[in-house]
Structure 1
Amino acid sequence: MNPSSPPIRKVFQGVATRQEMFRMFDRHKQRPARFEADASALYAGEWFEIAEEQCDYMLDVLPPLWIRGEMFAMREFMTGNVTSVFITLRLDSRRRHFHAYCDLSDKASPARMRDAIIARESRPVKAMTREERLEHIWSTTHDDYRGYAGDKWPEHLRGKRTVQLYGDTQGTLLKLLEQLSESEIAAKLPVQLRHLPDAIAA
């Protein structure tokens, strides 16, 4: 594994609907210099769960680039060498389906992604890491209420992800996603996810 490879990360809790799946295919479409810079590091390593219907639909959209047992890759690339890989796994006696972005310049990346999903979803207790909570917030926040730090921010913070918050006394404000407090994270998560135990990142 290339030590500079982006980390493998779960970006949505639960099974994404068709609409959610299509939104998450391009979670970073608002990024600065969208058509000027290589965005492989933004996408590679991301994954989330989808329904069987969505997996079957994507298999029928175009002839896949390849099929390897329980996995197939999309022929159209998102950016650089990064494309969608769809993975079907049997976990806890159930067939489950996942979408992942893999950088195919690393031939081992699909298998490594599959193994990481198995490890993550085989945990006996439902839990989320802080990073997973932040990624879920980013995935589910409407485009109008998320963005990237621009020229008004200190130079070393520009380009980092921001989300809009509503304060009782301060009104509306932008804050860096990575700097959200635990109470701010809880407020932006759906009720069913607010009290999940913290998971230890692998």
Structure 2
Amino acid sequence: MTSISVPRKVFQGVAKRADMFRILDRHARRPDRFAGALSAIYAGEWFETDETSYTYMLDILPPLWMLAPIFTMREFMTGSVTSVFYAIRIDDAVRYFHTYCDLSDPNSVEAMRSAILDRETRPVRAMSREERLEHIWSTTAEDYRGYAGPRWPKPMQGHRTVMLYGGKEGTLLKLLCTLTDDEIAAKLPVHLRHLPTVLAA
């Protein structure tokens, strides 16, 4: 489970349109999807996309509001949380980002923009453990990820699970948050496996 709505990068690299739509609702199969407020699950998630996807989303519906290169979608994901798209100049290049912001907080859109700038302008390319886990969740096919059900101990129920290949032992289901470093590396694409673990300050 995601517990608090702090800014968190959920995909490494640039998500093209097909990737973007898959990532937009990474929590579609949550067992409690319609059971209450899920704002904290979505609010704070962000990832980079491309100009084509940014323009496509701008053209789907008139935005709820638009301020220069930032616009918000008219349709809300849950409660007061909706998609916000940014075009941000970083190192002399315009880059495009999608976030979920809780518009009940008037500072959320600017806070997310600041968080993205802070993360993407750090001098060392790195990934935190949390970013590695979120990337794994975003890129694992629906058939190989899910949520711990009633067969799991009560404290674990509802937490995210992923399927792992266990060699001679076959496949096994494990809580996402309990993956070891080796298991994380095995689930990541090769170009992300050996990045520094600690983000530069």
- TM-score of the superposition, structure 2-length normalised? 0.96
Q: How far apart in 1 are the matches of 2:196 and 2:166?
A: 26
How far off is 1:20 after superposition? 0.5
Q: Secondary structure at the match of 1:72?
A: strand
Q: How far apart in 2 are the matches of 1:176 and 1:47?
A: 22
1:73 matched residue in structure 2: 72
1:145 matched residue in structure 2: 144
- 1:116 paired with 2:115, answer yes
How far off is 1:201 after superposition? 8.1
Runs (5+) with no aligned partner, structure 1: none
1:171 matched residue in structure 2: 170
Code of the residue aligned with 1:20 in structure 2: it is D
Q: Deviations over 1:71-121 (max 9, x none)?
A: 100000001100000011000110000000000000100000000000000
Within 5 Å, which residues of 2 pair with 1:61-140?
61-140=60-139
Code of the residue aligned with 2:18 in structure 1: it is Q
Code of the residue aligned with 1:46 in structure 2: it is E
Runs (5+) with no aligned partner, structure 2: none
Q: How far apart in 2 are the matches of 1:89 and 1:10?
A: 16
Q: Deviations over 1:32-59 (max 9, x none)?
A: 1222222111100000000001001100
Q: Deviations over 1:128-162 (max 9, x none)?
A: 00000000000000000000000000101100000
How far off is 1:168 after superposition? 1.5
2:33 matched residue in structure 1: 34
* Displacement over 2 Å in runs of 4+: 199-202
2:52 matched residue in structure 1: 53
On the 8 A contact 1:129/1:201 being kept in 2, the answer is no
On the 8 A contact 1:84/1:101 being kept in 2, the answer is yes
On the 8 A contact 2:10/2:134 being kept in 1, the answer is yes
Code of the residue aligned with 1:99 in structure 2: it is H
On the 8 A contact 2:133/2:184 being kept in 1, the answer is yes
2:186 matched residue in structure 1: 187
Q: Secondary structure at the match of 1:169?
A: helix
On the 8 A contact 2:49/2:97 being kept in 1, the answer is yes
Q: How far apart in 2 are the matches of 1:105 and 1:113?
A: 14
On the 8 A contact 2:4/2:41 being kept in 1, the answer is no
Q: Secondary structure at the match of 1:131?
A: helix
2:153 matched residue in structure 1: 154
- Cα-Cα RMSD: 1.3
On the 8 A contact 2:84/2:99 being kept in 1, the answer is yes
Equivalenced residue count is: 199
Code of the residue aligned with 1:23 in structure 2: it is R
On the 8 A contact 1:134/1:185 being kept in 2, the answer is yes
Q: Secondary structure at the match of 1:173?
A: strand
Q: Secondary structure at the match of 1:99?
A: strand
Q: How far apart in 1 are the matches of 2:72 and 2:83?
A: 6
On the 8 A contact 1:55/1:86 being kept in 2, the answer is yes
How much identity, in percent, do the aligned residues show?
Answer: 63
- TM-score of the superposition, structure 1-length normalised? 0.95
